[in-house]
């Protein structure tokens, strides 16, 4: 094959790249890894016992997740593609370990049902955000304020144990992460439209992983709040 043909094929491949499509692929892979790890841990009584009985271990994992996700969000554009992928995979696996405990609290049937409710809602909202001409950037500050409100209210209710506040937080949480899904999807769509054809492979991969992390977090939180509402406890 001539150098001209190789160059033509390379240019065509660059033109068909899509950060948005690549983001969905990486997000799906992250969710699959989380699900496999969660099911595997839940099927191992000794590991489950260790998580339940050793609070230092469980909260240590939670803290590790928080540190990792903050570090990835802030530094992912400076990491090598391999480190970005590895960090995302590690976060998804750690999330799978901590989320394995939902199998102790809820029935497997209701977890499956809520997963499909979440997937359908996420897909519909994300499709709307990717195709609408309405600019959703204006809702960003309000969503961030609402997120902080949810975090503070959840911490307060950890001590109050108010059932009414529990349900209020749950419904507001669903609305919040529906909004964040739409907002983040449109941001990634903008990246995709503006940069898919112009970025080098390294930055293309970094942006794809950053987008996947955003949508992964939106989906997981949407799922957890739906589970609080529709999940059937054991």
3-state secondary structure of 106: strand
What stretches in the chain show pLDDT beneath 50?
A: 1-15
Q: What is the pLDDT of residue 15?
A: 46
Left (φ > 0), alpha (ψ -120 to 50) or beta: where does 161 sit? left
Contact 171, 229 (CB under 8 A): yes
Determine, yes or no, domain membership for 2. Answer: no
**Residue 52, CB-side half-sphere exposure with 13 Å CA sphere:** 14
Determine, yes or no, domain membership for 116. Answer: yes
Determine, yes or no, domain membership for 3. Answer: no
Determine, yes or no, domain membership for 188. Answer: yes
Task: Quote the CA–CA distance of 112 and 100 in Å, as a whole number.
Answer: 13
Determine, yes or no, domain membership for 5. Answer: no
For 64-89, what is each residue's pLDDT tens digit?
A: 999 999 999 999 999 999 999 999 99
| 80 phi/psi in degrees, rounded to 5 | -70, 155
- Cα–Cα nearest to 54, from 8, 104, 98, 10: 98
Determine, yes or no, domain membership for 174. Answer: yes
Task: Quote the CA–CA distance of 48 and 66 in Å, as a whole number.
Answer: 21
Count of Cβ atoms closer than 10 Å to residue 175 Cβ:
12
Residue 48 CB-density burial (10 A; 0-12 exposed, 13-18 middle, 19+ buried): middle
Q: Which domain holds residue 173?
A: 18-230
Alpha-carbon distances of 67 from 71, 75, 95, 97, 127, rounded to whole Å: 6, 12, 13, 16, 31
Determine, yes or no, domain membership for 47. Answer: yes
- Cα–Cα nearest to 181, from 118, 126, 123: 126
Domain count, the chain: 1
Determine, yes or no, domain membership for 92. Answer: yes
For 137-168, what is each residue's pLDDT tens digit?
A: 999 999 999 999 999 999 999 999 999 999 99
Residue written as token pair 């589970």: 227
Q: What is the pLDDT of residue 14?
A: 47
Task: Quote the CA–CA distance of 108 and 115 in Å, as a whole number.
Answer: 11
């Amino acid at each position: 094959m001539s150098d001209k043909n190789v160059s033509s094929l390379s240019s065509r491949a660059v033109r068909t790249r899509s950060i948005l499509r690549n983001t969905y692929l990486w997000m799906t892979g992250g969710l699959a890894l989380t699900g496999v790890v969660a099911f595997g841990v839940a099927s191992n009584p000794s590991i489950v016992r260790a998580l339940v009985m050793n609070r230092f271990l469980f909260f240590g994992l939670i803290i590790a997740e928080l540190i990792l996700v903050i570090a990835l969000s802030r530094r992912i554009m400076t990491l090598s593609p391999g480190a970005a992928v590895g960090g995302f995979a590690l976060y998804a696996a750690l999330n799978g370990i901590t989320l394995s405990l939902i199998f102790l609290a809820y029935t497997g049937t209701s977890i499956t049902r809520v997963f499909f409710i979440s997937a359908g809602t996420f897909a519909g909202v994300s499709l709307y955000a990717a195709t609408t001409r309405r600019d959703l950037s204006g809702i960003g500050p309000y969503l961030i304020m609402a997120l902080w409100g949810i975090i503070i209210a959840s911490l307060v209710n950890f001590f109050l144990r108010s059932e009414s506040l529990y349900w209020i937080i749950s419904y507001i949480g669903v609305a919040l992460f529906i909004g964040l899904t739409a907002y983040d999807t449109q941001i990634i769509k903008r990246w995709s439209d503006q940069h898919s054809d112009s970025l080098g492979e390294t930055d293309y991969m970094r942006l794809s992983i950053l987008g996947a992390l955003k949508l992964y977090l939106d989906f997981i939180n949407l799922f957890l709040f739906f589970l609080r509402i529709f999940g059937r406890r054991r």
